[in-house]
């Protein structure tokens, strides 16, 4: 039997100094079996130095690490708005003969477009920030789950800014089609005026809707959204594979639009409405804010926020068992016995994908 002192040891060369317990540095041997070895009595030394890796090879990568999550929310929301509003404008403008000789879509096209747009936005940002791209989602997980409150302002700011920029890109792309529909570059109409092209960018309720019905419509849609997002990311409730969560969200947004989109335009996302509305205020005038006595704040902003809170409250109260939820926090007797609920939610909602530490 050989002595421990005689066992082979693989030692790095002198220039292989690194920080073993740091997130900034890592050591990796590309193919240790194929590396040349030099044997010196009982010690085997690698002829070539071990490869060294760092998360921050230059100054920009270190700066990027600090803003990566907000930037992911910005780009994810921007993609959502570019593809979603682009669908709105193409379908609506295509119905005018001065723009197209035949229609370029139907309401179902808009539902599919927004579903796919949301899925793409979540795919862009999911593995980095969780793919919220919706202030109602961010606030719901901050209140009821363990999402850090300190991140809420920067997440929401990034989402609104991304929606604003996305609306600007869509307007610039379709400005000539909008001119053709309006009749001139100097004419811009806001609902209930016709053709009301401002309504292609933000939500405006149908004329037959009462204020209370508008509030309930957005509340209901966002409640359904959060209940389903919670289910999709609950590891004890048959969730889809992590990479397919955006596809599931595509189906979710599609069916919400088909079922609940007629009356208020199913904002279900304060950033989706407020960012483009801010942009159109620069182009169309402040009338976009005076519609229905400041409709913009109590229907597409406050109602989705309240609906999202209620949706996650229902799911966590009656279905979710993980200790991430405020509902499942241990009481005094459980704390005294050092007991707590299981940590069942291992995915970062709503994207359901693994994220960097």
Domains and CATH numbers, the chain: 4-54 (no CATH), 59-318 (1.20.1080.10)
Q: What is the per-residue pLDDT for 340?
A: 73
Residue with tokens 């939820």: 325
Q: What is the per-residue pLDDT for 17?
A: 43
Show Cβ contacts of residue 243 under 8 Å, excluding neighbours closer than 6 positions. Answer: 353
Peptide bond just before 230 cis, omega within 30 deg:
no
Show Cβ contacts of residue 181 under 8 Å, excluding neighbours closer than 6 positions. Answer: 93, 96, 98, 99, 195, 197
pLDDT lower than 50: segments of the chain = 1-21, 27, 29-32, 345-347, 354-357
Show Cβ contacts of residue 95 under 8 Å, excluding neighbours closer than 6 positions. Answer: 103, 104
Cα 291 to Cα 37, 142, 295, 334: the distances in Å are 77, 31, 6, 52
Question: For 239-295, what is each residue's pLDDT tens digit?
Answer: 998 789 999 999 999 999 999 999 999 999 999 999 999 999 999 999 999 999 999
Q: What is the per-residue pLDDT for 238?
A: 87
Measured CA angle at 244 (ends 239, 246), to 5 deg: 100
* Nearest by Cα to 219 from 160, 293, 298: 298
């Amino acid at each position: 039997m050989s002595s421990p002192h005689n066992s082979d040891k693989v030692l790095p060369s002198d220039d292989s100094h690194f920080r073993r317990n740091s997130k900034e540095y890592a050591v990796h041997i590309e193919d240790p079996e194929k590396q040349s070895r030099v044997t010196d009595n009982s010690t085997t030394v690698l002829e070539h130095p071990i490869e060294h890796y760092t998360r921050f090879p230059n100054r920009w990568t270190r700066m990027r690490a600090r803003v990566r999550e907000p930037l992911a929310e910005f780009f994810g929301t921007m993609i959502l708005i570019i593809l979603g509003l682009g669908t709105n404008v193409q379908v609506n403008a295509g119905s005018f003969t001065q723009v197209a000789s035949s229609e370029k879509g139907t309401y179902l096209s808009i539902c599919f477009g927004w579903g796919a747009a949301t899925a793409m936005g979540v795919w862009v940002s999911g593995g980095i920030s969780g793919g919220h791209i919706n202030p109602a989602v961010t606030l719901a997980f901050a209140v009821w789950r363990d999402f850090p409150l300190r991140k809420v302002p920067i997440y929401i700011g990034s989402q609104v800014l991304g929606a604003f920029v996305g609306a600007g890109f869509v307007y610039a792309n379709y400005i000539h089609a909008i001119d053709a529909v309006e009749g001139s570059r100097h004419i811009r109409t806001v609902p209930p005026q016709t053709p009301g092209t401002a309504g292609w960018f933000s939500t405006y309720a149908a004329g037959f809707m009462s204020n209370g019905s508008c509030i309930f419509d957005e509340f209901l849609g966002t409640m359904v959204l959060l209940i389903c997002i919670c289910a999709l990311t609950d590891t004890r409730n048959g969730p889809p594979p992590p990479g397919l969560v955006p596809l599931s969200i595509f189906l979710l947004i599609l069916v919400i639009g088909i079922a609940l989109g007629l009356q208020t335009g199913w904002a279900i996302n304060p950033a989706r409405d407020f960012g483009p509305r801010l942009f159109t205020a620069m182009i169309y005038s402040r009338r976009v804010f005076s519609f229905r006595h400041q409709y913009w704040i109590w229907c597409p902003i406050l109602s989705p926020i309240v609906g999202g809170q209620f949706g996650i409250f229902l799911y966590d109260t009656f279905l979710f068992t993980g200790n991430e939820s405020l509902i499942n926090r241990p009481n005094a007797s459980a704390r005294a016995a050092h007991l707590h609920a299981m940590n069942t939610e291992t995915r970062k909602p709503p994207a359901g994908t693994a994220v960097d530490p």
